[in-house]
Amino acid sequence: MPCGPCCSVSLVFGLVAMIAGVVGVPFGAVISSLLRPRLPYMDPCVCGAGLLLSVPCLTGAAFYASGNFIVCMVFVFFASVSLNWTWAVVSDMSLYVVVPPRRSTAQAFQILVSHAFGDAGSPYLVGVISESIKAHYADSVVATSSLNSTSVIAAALNSTVTTSSRNWDVEFRSLQYALFMTCIVEVIGGAFFLAAAKYVVKDKATVDLANNRSALVHSYADEATNDDSATSKLTH
């Protein structure tokens, strides 16, 4: 569906997503840095709030996709901003709740899981759900037509334009309903983030304690090494 003589939906969507990313990522980092000193459990809450706030925005974008393009893109922008502000905070959390020798592994695993179950696997899953809904629509039309002979005659007399319009509507509705699955996943993810707020402070304190013990052990080891070196020099 073109939105103007010189632009397309994909171009506008790409620009909106790019601007939302530029705005959302630093916004989440700033909010987290401002709230964390006073409320140390706020990092998971910020991420959970971002996911939950994006749900009504994505729902609005899906509903307005066929009606008002500008309103749809406004909803997409705010949904993308609220989603993007979780990235910096999640990366920060995955570092400060893991001891330093394992942080690179934890970060790599977090990136792998988020992409494997996110932008890599979700298009296929949405497509499968959309095709299932489309098949359900087709079965419903066939069943209704078989029960009503008048509808069969009317369907036979329909023009090619009407048929293509109906097919487009089925394609659109099936994809629209399939995209609502992302809203369900976001609600589940937001709930997990809010639940993590109960444990993040304790986990961070445990890691800080382990780091302090490790630093103390290394300090004692360095002192012992220096003492041994000084003793060996005196004996010689």
Q: Which helix (H) or strand (E) holds 31?
A: helix 9-35
Whole-angstrom Cα distance, residue 55 to residue 82?
9
In the predicted structure, residue 151 carries a pLDDT above the cut 70: no
Please, where are the H alpha helices in 36-159?
42-64, 69-96, 103-115, 122-147, 149-157
- Percentage of the chain with pLDDT > 70? 75
What's the confidence (pLDDT) of residue 146?
47
If you search the block for the tokens 């089925």, which residue do you land on?
170
Average pLDDT of span 205-234 = 64
Q: Which residues pair with 7 in a beta bridge?
A: 4
Work out the number of other CB atoms within 10 angstroms of the CB of residue 61. Answer: 21
In the predicted structure, residue 211 carries a pLDDT above the cut 60: yes
The CA-based angle 188-191-192, given to 5 degrees, is 90
Amino acid in position 143: A
What's the confidence (pLDDT) of residue 212?
79
> Domain locations in the chain?
9-225
In the predicted structure, residue 233 carries a pLDDT above the cut 90: no
The predicted-structure confidence for 90-147, as pLDDT tens digits, reads as follows 988 888 888 888 888 888 888 888 888 877 888 888 888 888 888 877 666 544 444 4
Name the CATH architecture for the domain at 9-225: Up-down Bundle (1.20)
What's the confidence (pLDDT) of residue 23?
93
